[in-house]
Structure 1
């Protein structure tokens, strides 16, 4: 499996945090993860070994898959091995990596990339 056309949203994340600390964004505006996103983080996500920038609790990394070729699997959270298995089917699709804090509901898209099988 290989990723290409990767887009990083780290700069946007840093800007949101600067705006929060400067009082230009409220906690409610940043910490808006819905039930589905939090549940996916708990059940499919992996511990990032990194503290939430808002509350200090542990962050979880969740992978979401998108693409017409995925059929009913599109728009769902998947574990890394599931992504490898789907790519092995010869499908090309997009993966969004989202960090989520289940405690305070902070969430941010970290990166998006097109995934495809090698060779």
Structure 2
């Protein structure tokens, strides 16, 4: 007689701690269909997150942190869930997002340069006044 081994992984609380998200956010990702697969459950009904789930959540977090709209995150997730054959669409989606991120990065870098310039001006003024 063979027995089925229970799923091995992290509870939702442990997964939340490891990813830096809340359990509520993880549940939202599941409820909204953003996970690559349905997160398995233990015999007691508790979610069991595996390494692949955590890697996927990390990717979702990075997409959101870099400003990808949730609509596009959902589109990307749906493409990944569909499996092979749509890699060109995934590539296009990520390349378009990358281009937006690079534009934002250039703008932030320019703004940072202006801030550094002002810091230099005030630093010179404070150092002259201190002498």
Normalising by structure 2, report the TM-score. 0.22
Q: Which of the pair has the greater relative contact order for Cα pairs under 8 Å at 6+ separation?
A: 1
Larger strand proportion of the pair: 1
From the CA coordinates, give the structure whose radius of gyration is larger.
2
Higher helix share: 2
